[in-house]
Every structure is written in structure tokens, then in C-alpha cells.
Amino acid sequence: MAELIGGYKRTKLCGEFRNFDIDSKVVCMGFVAKYRNLGNLIFIDVRDRSGIVQVSFDDSTPSEIFEKATKLRNEYVVCVSGVVRSRGSNINKNLPTGDIEIIATDLKILNEAEVTPFVISDDAKVGDVTRLKYRYLDLRRPSLQNILMTRSKITKITRDYLDYKGFLDIETPFLGKSTPEGARDYLVPSRIHPGEFYALPQSPQLFKQLLMIAGFDRYYQIARCFRDEDLRANRQPEFSQIDLEMSYVEKDQDVMEIAEGLICEIFNQCLGMDLKVGTFRKIPYAEAMENYGSDKPDTRFDLKIKDLSNLVKNCDFSVFANCIKEGGSVRGINAKGLATLTRKQIDALGEFVKGYGVKGLAWAALKPEGITSSFAKFMTEEQMSEIYNAMDAKQGDLLLIIADKTKLVLDTLGGLRCHVADTYNLYDKSQYDFLWVTDFPLLEYDEEEKRYVAVHHPFTSVKAEDIPLLDTDPGKARANAYDFVINGQEAGGGSIRIHNVKMQEKMFAMLGMSEEDIKNRFGFFVDAFKYGAPPHGGLAFGLDRLVMLVTGTDNIKDVIAFPKVQNASCLMSEAPSPVDDIQLKELFLEINKPQD
Amino acid sequence: MAELIGGYKRTKLCGEFRNFDIDSKVVCMGFVAKYRNLGNLIFIDVRDRSGIVQVSFDDSTPSEIFEKATKLRNEYVVCVSGVVRSRGSNINKNLPTGDIEIIATDLKILNEAEVTPFVISDDAKVGDVTRLKYRYLDLRRPSLQNILMTRSKITKITRDYLDYKGFLDIETPFLGKSTPEGARDYLVPSRIHPGEFYALPQSPQLFKQLLMIAGFDRYYQIARCFRDEDLRANRQPEFSQIDLEMSYVEKDQDVMEIAEGLICEIFNQCLGMDLKVGTFRKIPYAEAMENYGSDKPDTRFDLKIKDLSNLVKNCDFSVFANCIKEGGSVRGINAKGLATLTRKQIDALGEFVKGYGVKGLAWAALKPEGITSSFAKFMTEEQMSEIYNAMDAKQGDLLLIIADKTKLVLDTLGGLRCHVADTYNLYDKSQYDFLWVTDFPLLEYDEEEKRYVAVHHPFTSVKAEDIPLLDTDPGKARANAYDFVINGQEAGGGSIRIHNVKMQEKMFAMLGMSEEDIKNRFGFFVDAFKYGAPPHGGLAFGLDRLVMLVTGTDNIKDVIAFPKVQNASCLMSEAPSPVDDIQLKELFLEINKPQD
């Protein structure tokens, strides 16, 4: 049976004891992380979120306390009072508290524990399903504890920085209006308004712009957002963003400066880096696509894409020549130093690119003993030498070339360069690479819907110099939009917004929305712009992604206390679940399940 | 047409200009709050969230700029460049910036504005419906701007304090499991699991306790919570709470100390008060009920309830005597100095108490010229003098007495004392009164459901010394539960939780839950307690209520940027609203509207 704490107060957290505590009378509380009974000597490790400390029960321990200690088991919750002693020659150098131990003089067993379904250890091999079912136990692992502590630190740094910069923390509603555009909304049926629904926010976009119109000048919020999409790996139905908006800005740079300041604070404080505002690289979208085949390029490694189309358009290799003739392009990357790859390894790269839908991979390995290549035999020596030149190919390099429709070629090579760099360790994975991608296109043509859709969202402004393009060649108009990319992952993005009501209406119209449509979905929003809207812009960082990047995990579930799995369910609470008929009746709903 | 900012940067916010800015070249931006054209002189007030500054266009202003200024109207958004000048003898003492004005040298009209549906002013008489429809305009009012800025300050203070005290900011899920107990859940249909639902959290109660079991030690979150209840005034379907939980506590005091520290920080920093931890009064629940007829007594005024039952049980006034005979009680309050109330005013108090369901109000006014009373004629002089004595009645006082069932008497007098104090200004309304109500009963018997229900919630622990009562007289057992009351309003509350799995199961059973019920609704939660749960407790403050108290508003809509009205709809966005059939189909839902 559990005992009371009985007035004991913790001296400090377990992981905080050090040499200078020696001879002090102390109290620690926590979980038993390890238990060793040597007969006349019992050692336990006591664990809390700060780490572990060793507690010993020996012949100096009162006998009834020693007797109590023999009943301890892993994960029992204990309160130990005792005296700190040097471990002498038995120092554990792997442990911050390894110089000392606590010799127990009193022990309270605050709670017992059944044998846990798995050992609480970062080394334990346990399946994801079991871990997530017993999430409260998995969260006891030091690595997850540290990640969530870092997450808390990051949100605190964020709030301190934005508060200092004059941003107000303002909460926006969760029960909003459904304005489907892009992702699917989570709906919430109304009981008071039969047949009507709220929608959970996909982002606080409209509200934060309304706050600018309301004159709050600078707003931020760490906002939960919801998207009912089919989950891919590293997506969650609910996710958090650091959302901010500011008035009286008109250039990308105005917002980027604030965002860079935040990134510096987070990375410098959490990782001891020395980032500085104003030093982040900016790559225009077109250049990112051309060089890296991606709007979120990973530039920790070079592997730039080179356009070979002009060099090979008249060659005898029909795959290349025909591709160019049909309006496609031939591009490649130089995998520096990888000429030593085996045929099997190169074939695997061929399989990889087929996943993107291209027909195949042309390659040339510049080995010391001569060139091995899938296509060189169709080329003249001059053509090959032009290719080498264009790709800066030296002995030892492996050239990987693809011929297809340009968009597909870029996309594939964008993926291939990351795959090759990852597989063959072409870069230092502990390094960070930060950059802005700017000058995104405003619109892109959706072949399926036969209309333009917004690349960012319909509230993004067009670059002043590109306004005329809206009437002549809308697909070419560039937006005042910017994404922040860390290690090839989109960490955030934003834009300078439209603040002119006529321009906003024009934008909606360009997206194919009828006047009635606009009125129904965004009527109140468009109205708001009529009464004096300051120029404004903003940005949102994906908090989950940032925490992943800072803590170096590639599993989004690691950074969320109670995550959902791919089918959007919680294995611990078993949400979602059926509800009582009376609850449905009150909501005027009937379920119409699909036939099996 | 709107102009660009053109590279101007704000010198500071409008309300921040002072004497020491005189002769400086400055830039301000904001909304035109007032426009006066005197022919050769134009004055405008420029407003932002910090206040207003006067801008003048005079004969020193370039003529094309002066010309542009003639086009300004209220709520236009402007950027003004100019020089700060003393107003000389035309100082406006009511304005922090009243010593100076800005003589414009340049003006950019950043956006125009149609005539707003109401004047942006705290004095404008405008109906609530219009205000809420144009919430983004109403929010421009200085009073609402200040309230939301104070709210942002309060959340910052809260986070700083709790971070300093070692609490981790951990986010818990919004898409949870429906475990109906108490209020109605908002449900969210699942698309991936046909016929199943998530529930939006009524509070993060289960999750925060699981975080303690997971070893995070101290948790906090400013958490949005949801209750689908019929809204009363000052209730919102979504509301925010400062939610915290801490491990290794076992006495109320352990949590109360942290909570008091937070209250001190908030009130001292926001209102310049000098509150100190450990100085807050504690009133046990039973005493609060007995003296104030309320578990959240307003003690800014005395008006204590006195029990007169013993004094009047044998009197000739049958209303009193019969009431006691039937097991009820006779109690009253002494409305000090209100003997001068007219008969009409006293009758109004009689009407007021009838609203509670009592039959009437007995009263006695101790006027200088003699006693006027509704019941004195039935009493002996000795009986009356005993009553005066018990109620500390002096000349000039008005005694208000009620005879009925005890619970109803207390409830009614609890309401009456507040009503009288409010109506006749018996206290300083600018004063703050803080107190704890402790020792709440653990359970109360629900006559309708014929079972015990938890007064706080089923996770609250019973006082150690009252554990035996659970088996003998559960209604008498007191909980380790505490509410924090400010000015007669419940500002927060919490408890030391059950951490023993057997006790938790016993509690569920006492609430009439079957084993299957427990397993279905709280199975994962009960399981968690088996693997080592530290003793823990916590508390939540109602953030909206706190902000109301600090800013002195009695309208909850004032402290929420985008509030809902009583029927849970948003007059601005018109949420909730009908959705597309395709959205419903994807959720396997059909609407079954009530017949008109």
C-alpha cells in the first residue's frame, strides 16, 4: 500500500546532484529505474525528468528501511531521504550525477507498479503499437522526455522573442466557418443550429488578417491547426504552428527579418549555434527548381542539376534526342566520387527514379580504368566531353542523367540528389542548412480543375512589377511569398497579403470563384477590407517540424505528447470511438455507414 | 488608389510621442481617427493600438501633400512623415501625446475606407449585433484594444512565472475521446472511421494526469476548452484556461502556493498591487455556505448570514415557528444603515427573493423614530432583542430574514446579500477581494439520478481523515479540493488527485459506474495508474474570467477577440453554417432536422 510523502520536500531534481552536495542531507523523489540487491547492499537508480541518481541502502541504513527497500521494483515511485556521499573510485563517468550517490536514511514507497509491458529505456526494442498504446510509459524514456522539454523551451523562446518585438498573443476561435479550399476541414456539428456545422481551423489565416484590420498591429499565436487529409508519414491531423502577422510591411524582407530573428534565438539558445539575422541565403523559386529540382532544396550537399539539353539535342542517342524534340529536357547530376558504385547499386538508383515515373536513368562512371556508361556508346567523344565540361566531371565521378518532360526531370533529379546524398553519406548530417526560397509563382494552372489555383493561398499579394501579368500571363506572375527551408524541409512560409479590396476580389475571380461563392465563403472578410486595411504580411512556422529539426528526430510522433497514428486514431485512448445514440440525436445526425 | 509605404519606417507607435521628440523628424502610421479641415489648416488624429497623435498640415506643408490631405476621411490608413512640434499653449492634458503634434511634410494614403457602420469610439451608442457583425471595427475601440493587450500581458506573465517554477508547456490533443460526464461534448465526426467521433476537450484533465504518470513532473498549458451547453450570459462555447498539474504534492497547500504566486504576479504587474503569497484567506466550504450562502462568497462587504432558528423556534410568528418545526431554518442578514429604504424598495427585495422560490421576506427597519417591521408584532420584546443581539443590529439597520428549507434559505440569502450590496453600493467596487474556499464535499447526492455525483470531478482525492466516511456516510467526506474566488466569482479551482488505482476504481464505483462502463470510458486511464503514478495535484484558472477581473469588464465578449453570441454563433463569420453535401457524404452523415 502506498505511503504518504509525510512532509518531505525535494532538495532538487534527481539529475541535479553533484559533488558539491556531498555530506548534505537531501531528499529526492522519482521512479525506480534500476534495482540491484546484493544481499547486504541495495542499489537503486531514481529517475525523474532531469536524469537519474543512485541511491544505496547499506549497513548504515535503519534496518526497517533496508527491509522496505527489498520490496522495491522497477517503476515504483519513491521518496528517499539520505546523505550524499562520494562514490570514491566507483565513479560513473557516463552520468552527470556519477560522482555521488545518496545513502538512504529513510524511504517512502509512494506508489507501487506492476511489471511494465516494456522496459523504460531508449534501448528497448518495442513495436510502435505497444509504445503508443502505453504512451504514458513510453514518454518516460529519457529521449522523449528531453524532446518534450526542448519543445517547451522552444515555445518559451518564441514567446519571449515575439513579445519583445511587440507581437500580441491573441487567441482566435476553434469553432469557425467551413470555407473549403485546399485541404478538407474537420467539421463540428451544431446542436443549436440543426444541420449546420463549425469547422476546425486549418490555420488562423482569416482571423489574423482581421486582427490587422482591427488595428492590433502585430499578432502571434502558437496555434493548433487541423487538416482532415489522408495522413502521410510525418503528418498529423492536428499540428501546431507559430503563427504571426504584422502591419505596415510591404516587402518580403520586413517579415523575413522578424522570422530570422526567431530562428536565431531558437537555434542559438537550444544548440549553442551562432546564427545571425541577415545572413540567411535567399534563392528565388525559379533558381531552386532549376538547380535543385525542388522548392525546398537541401543544400547541405551540392549535387546541382545541370541542363544538358542543348548539348544532346542532336546526338544519336534517340532517348535524348527524341525527348528534346518532344519538348522535354535532358538534365543530370554529378555524384562526385561515386564512380566506384557497383552495377547493382547503380541499378538500384534506376529503380529509385522509376518511382517518379521516368523511364530510366542514363549514367556514366568515370573510373580510373576508363568510362563505364549506359549511353556513351551512342555519343561522340566531343559530345561526351561537352557533357563532362558542363557537369564539371572529374575522374571518380558518377553522372546520373534523365530525359523526360522537364517538370518530371526536375522533380526526379530533385529526389535523386537527396537519395544519393543520403545513401552514400555525401554530407555531414549533424550540420544545419537554412535558406529562404522567394519569388514563388502566385498561381498555378490546375489541369484537372481547368482553372488557376493559388500556390500559397488566395490572400497572397503579387509583386508590384508583375501586376500587369495578371491580365496577360497569370501563370508567370510572382508572389510576395517566401518559404523558410531547413535541411531540405519546409520549416515555414508566409507572404505579404493583399490589402486592397479590389485586388482581393480580382484574385478570387482569377481562382474561378463566382461572386456568390465569394460572398458565401469570404463575404465578411472581403467586407472588412473596405473599412481601412493596413498593408500587412506574416508567416507561420511549423512548430512540430522545428522541434524535429532542433532535436534531430525524423519521427513527428516523437515531438507530440499524444500523437495519432496514420489512420488518425489514438492507440492509447482509442479515439475516435462510437458515441451514444442520444448524443447523435441531439445533433440531428444519422450515420450512414458504407456497406461492407 | 492606395499608395505604397515607399520605404518609410515608423519612428515609434502613435501614442508614444512626447515632449522629448520635439524637433525630431519622425514617421507615424495608423488610422485617421479624426479629421478637421479649417481651410488653411488640417488636423488629423492618427490612431494605432498605443493611442493617438495629432498631425497638422499647415502652410509649411508642401502644397501637393496638403491637397492630398484634403481627401482624408476617418479610418483611412496613413503614413505621415513630419517634424514634432510643441503645441505651445494648445496642450491637450487628456492625451499622453497632448504636448506635441506632428507637422506633416509627407503623407501616403496606404488605404482608403468607406464610411464605417458606426463611429470607432468608446462613447458610440451601437447595438451589440452591429458591433459583433463588424467585430474587426469594434475591436479598433481603445477600450477593447487595451483589454486584449492586457490579456496578452497576462498570458505572458503566466508563462514566465510557470516556466520559472519549472512547469513545462506541453500541448495535449484537441481530437480526443468522448467520455460524457457532466457537460455535453462537442463531437467531430471521423471520415476514416465511419460512424465514429472525436470529442473536443472539456478540459485536458486526463491528459495532464497522464503527463504526471509519464514523469514530466510539472506541466502547464493555456488550453482551449469546449462545452456544448446552453449558453448563459458570460459563458462561451470555447474558453481558455490556465491549466497546471504538479507531481509529488499531497496537500492542498502545495498547489495553492504556486497558484497564489501566479495571482500575485498577474495583479501586481497589471494593476500595481502589492499582493503576497501566503496572505490569502482560506474559508472552508461549510463556513462559506453558513456565513455567505455561497461557495464563492463575495467578501468585499460583510452582510454575514446569521442563524436565528434557535431564537425563534418557539415564537408566535407561525411562519418562523412552523418552518423550524418542519426541519427548516430561519436566517437573516443585517443590511447596515439601510433602515431608510422606502417600503417600495423593501418590497422590491421581497420580489427579488421570490425569484429563488422562497415564500417571502421578513424584515425590520430600525429607524430613529422606532421600528417598522413585517413580523415584530408577532414577537415578544425579548425575542426581538435577542434577534438584534444575534444580528448586531443598531439604529439605522435593516434586518432581512428568510424562513424556509435550510439549503434554499442559504442560497437565497447568499444572493440577497450580493444584490443588496450591489444595489445600495455598500462596498468599494474598485477593490479586490481574494480568497480560497477549501474542504469541499467530495460527493453530492443527485436526487434525480439517485446516485452520488462528484462535486469537482471523479479524479479528486478524499481527505485522508475522511476515507472511512466513504463506506459509512459518503456525502460527509471532504475532498482535497479548493476554489480560488475573486470578488465573489470563481476564478479557478483544483484538487489533489487520486493516484492509487484501487481508490480510483472505488471512486468510479461510488459514482454508480459499472465495471464495463469504467473500462469503456476510462480504461486506458485506470490502466495507467497501475504502472507507478506519483502523487499529484493541480488547478486551472479561467483565463477569460481573470482577464475580466483585471480589466474590470463584466462582459466576457470584451475579453475574447472573436466571441460567439448566446446561441453559439459568430455574427461576423456566420459560423456555424450549412456545408456541402459532399462533405457530409465523406463523413457518412445524414441530417435529420427536426420538423418545424
pLDDT tens column, B269-287: 999 999 999 999 999 999 9
Sort out which chain B residues have CB atoms less than 8 A from A249's CB and list them: 5
pLDDT band at residue B376 using 50, 70 and 90 as cut-offs = very high
- What's residue B47's pLDDT? 98
Q: What is the mean pLDDT of residues B535-560?
A: 97
pLDDT tens column, A549-566: 999 999 999 999 999 999
- What's residue A596's pLDDT? 59
- What's residue A124's pLDDT? 85
* Nearest Cα residue to A308 out of A415, A400, A412, A416: A400
Chain centre to alpha carbon of residue B510: 32
pLDDT tens column, B80-121: 999 999 999 999 999 999 999 999 999 999 999 999 999 999
B578 and A195 within 8 Å at the Cβ level: the answer is yes
A178 touches B at CB < 8 Å: yes
Domains of chain B by start residue, with CATH: 14-111 (2.40.50.140), 145-282+435-559 (3.30.930.10), 301-427 (3.30.1360.30)
- What's residue A1's pLDDT? 56
Chain centre to alpha carbon of residue A242: 12
A191 and B200 within 8 Å at the Cβ level: the answer is no
Say if residues B223 and B198 touch (Cβ distance below 8 Å).
Answer: no
Chain centre to alpha carbon of residue B17: 35
Say if residues A151 and B221 touch (Cβ distance below 8 Å).
Answer: no
Question: How far off is chain B from A3, nearest CA to CA, in Å?
Answer: 10
* Segment holding A154, helix H or strand E: helix A142-164
B contact test, residue of A109, A269, A462, A573 with most B CBs within 10 A: A573
Q: How many whole angstroms separate alpha carbon B483 and alpha carbon B486?
A: 10
Q: Which residue of B has its CA nearest to A240?
A: B171
Q: How many whole angstroms separate alpha carbon B244 and alpha carbon B596?
A: 46
Burial status of residue B367 (CB atoms within 10 A of its CB: 0-12, 13-18, 19 or more): middle
With a CB-CB cutoff of 8 Å, which residues 115-154 of chain A face chain B? Answer: 116, 133-137, 139-140, 145, 148-149, 151-152
With a CB-CB cutoff of 8 Å, which residues 26-85 of chain B face chain A? Answer: 29-31, 47-49, 75-77, 79
- What's residue A518's pLDDT? 87
A194 and B530 within 8 Å at the Cβ level: the answer is no
Q: Is the pLDDT of residue B544 over 60?
A: yes
Q: Which residue of B has its CA nearest to A154?
A: B169
A588 and B593 within 8 Å at the Cβ level: the answer is yes
- Within 13 A of A595's CA, how many CA atoms are on the CB side? 0
Q: How many whole angstroms separate alpha carbon A87 and alpha carbon A451?
A: 74
Q: Which of B156, B200, B531 sits opposite A163 (nearest CB)?
A: B156
pLDDT tens column, A71-129: 999 999 999 999 999 999 999 999 999 999 999 999 999 999 999 999 999 988 999 99
- What's residue A521's pLDDT? 84
Q: Which of A186, A215, A580 sits opposite B145 (nearest CB)?
A: A215
Q: Is the pLDDT of residue B459 over 60?
A: yes
A contact test, residue of B242, B573, B588 with most A CBs within 10 A: B573
Say if residues B374 and B402 touch (Cβ distance below 8 Å).
Answer: no
Q: How many whole angstroms separate alpha carbon A596 and alpha carbon A563?
A: 29
A214 and B171 within 8 Å at the Cβ level: the answer is no
pLDDT band at residue A219 using 50, 70 and 90 as cut-offs = very high
The answer to which of A265-274, A580-589, B204-213, B476-485 has the lowest mean pLDDT is A580-589
Cell 446569521 sits on residue: B306
Angle at Cα A481 formed by Cα A478 and Cα A482, nearest 5°? 125
A579 and B197 within 8 Å at the Cβ level: the answer is yes
Cell 517634424 sits on residue: B83
A169 and B152 within 8 Å at the Cβ level: the answer is yes
With a CB-CB cutoff of 8 Å, which residues 96-115 of chain B face chain A? Answer: 110-114
Q: Which residue of A has its CA nearest to B114?
A: A531
Helices (H), B328-454: 343-354, 381-390, 406-423
Q: Which of A228, A530, A533 sits opposite B77 (nearest CB)?
A: A533
What is the b/e burial string over B510-528, where b = at least 16 CB atoms within 10 angstroms of the residue's CB? Answer: bbebeeeebeebbebbebb
Sort out which chain B residues have CB atoms less than 8 A from A136's CB and list them: 210-211, 213-214, 528, 531
Q: Is the pLDDT of residue B445 over 70?
A: yes
Question: How far off is chain A from B325, nearest CA to CA, in Å?
Answer: 44
Question: How far off is chain B from A497, nearest CA to CA, in Å?
Answer: 13
Sort out which chain B residues have CB atoms less than 8 A from A247's CB and list them: 29
Q: What's the complex ipTM?
A: 0.95
Q: Which residue of A has its CA nearest to B115?
A: A531
* Nearest Cα residue to A34 out of A87, A86, A81, A95: A95
CA distances to A366, B463, B504, B516 from B438, rounded to whole Å, are 82, 11, 21, 34
- What's residue A148's pLDDT? 98
pLDDT tens column, A401-435: 999 999 999 999 999 999 999 999 999 999 999 99
Sort out which chain B residues have CB atoms less than 8 A from A230's CB and list them: 192
Sort out which chain B residues have CB atoms less than 8 A from A156's CB and list them: 159, 163, 169
A157 touches B at CB < 8 Å: no
Sort out which chain B residues have CB atoms less than 8 A from A238's CB and list them: 173-175
* Cell of residue B249, nine digits: 504534492
A149 and B168 within 8 Å at the Cβ level: the answer is yes
- What's residue B546's pLDDT? 98
* Nearest Cα residue to B170 out of B115, B215, B230, B111: B215
Q: Is the pLDDT of residue B54 over 70?
A: yes
Q: How many whole angstroms separate alpha carbon B146 and alpha carbon A451?
A: 45
B111 and A500 within 8 Å at the Cβ level: the answer is yes
Q: How many whole angstroms separate alpha carbon A256 and alpha carbon A273?
A: 19
- What's residue A593's pLDDT? 79
Say if residues B266 and B546 touch (Cβ distance below 8 Å).
Answer: yes
- What's residue B384's pLDDT? 94
Q: How many whole angstroms separate alpha carbon B23 and alpha carbon B471?
A: 81
Burial status of residue B326 (CB atoms within 10 A of its CB: 0-12, 13-18, 19 or more): exposed
pLDDT tens column, B9-31: 999 999 999 999 999 999 999 99
Higher pLDDT, B520 or A307: A307
pLDDT tens column, A152-207: 999 999 999 999 999 999 999 999 998 766 689 999 999 999 999 999 999 999 99
β B481-486/B434-438 pair status: antiparallel
- What's residue A554's pLDDT? 93
CA distances to A278, A434, A495, B211 from A492, rounded to whole Å, are 17, 11, 11, 29
B186 and A185 within 8 Å at the Cβ level: the answer is no
* Cell of residue A363, nine digits: 549514367
Q: What percent of chain B has pLDDT over 70?
A: 99
pLDDT band at residue B596 using 50, 70 and 90 as cut-offs = low
Q: Is the pLDDT of residue A248 over 80?
A: yes
pLDDT band at residue B50 using 50, 70 and 90 as cut-offs = very high
B248 and A10 within 8 Å at the Cβ level: the answer is yes
Q: Which of B13, B176, B532 sits opposite A75 (nearest CB)?
A: B532
Question: How far off is chain B from A38, nearest CA to CA, in Å?
Answer: 24
Q: Which residues contact A317 (CB under 8 A, 6 or more apart)?
A: A362, A375, A378, A379
Helices (H), A234-297: 252-271, 285-292
Q: How many other CB atoms are found less than 10 A from the CB of residue A122?
A: 9
Sort out which chain B residues have CB atoms less than 8 A from A588's CB and list them: 591-594
Question: How far off is chain B from A128, nearest CA to CA, in Å?
Answer: 17
Q: Is the pLDDT of residue B1 over 70?
A: no
DSSP state of A466: G
The size of the A-B interface in CB pairs under 8 A is 377
B185 touches A at CB < 8 Å: yes
Q: Which residue of A has its CA nearest to B521?
A: A573
What is the b/e burial string over B38-64, where b = at least 16 CB atoms within 10 angstroms of the residue's CB? Answer: eeeebbbbbbbbbbbbbbbbeeebeee
Average pLDDT, rounded, for chain B: 95
* Cell of residue A452, nine digits: 488557376
End-to-end CA distance of chain A: 50
Angle at Cα A89 formed by Cα A88 and Cα A91, nearest 5°? 85
A536 touches B at CB < 8 Å: no
Average pLDDT, rounded, for chain A: 95
A111 and B533 within 8 Å at the Cβ level: the answer is yes
Q: Is the pLDDT of residue A234 over 90?
A: no
The pTM for the full model equals 0.95
A187 and B583 within 8 Å at the Cβ level: the answer is yes
Sort out which chain B residues have CB atoms less than 8 A from A576's CB and list them: 175, 177, 188, 190, 193, 196-198
Q: Which of A136, A197, A500 sits opposite B2 (nearest CB)?
A: A500
- What's residue A33's pLDDT? 96
Say if residues A28 and A46 touch (Cβ distance below 8 Å).
Answer: yes
Which residues lie across from A51 on neighbouring strands?
A48
Q: How many other CB atoms are found less than 10 A from the CB of residue A280?
A: 17
Peptide bond just before B576 cis, omega within 30 deg = yes
A215 and B156 within 8 Å at the Cβ level: the answer is no
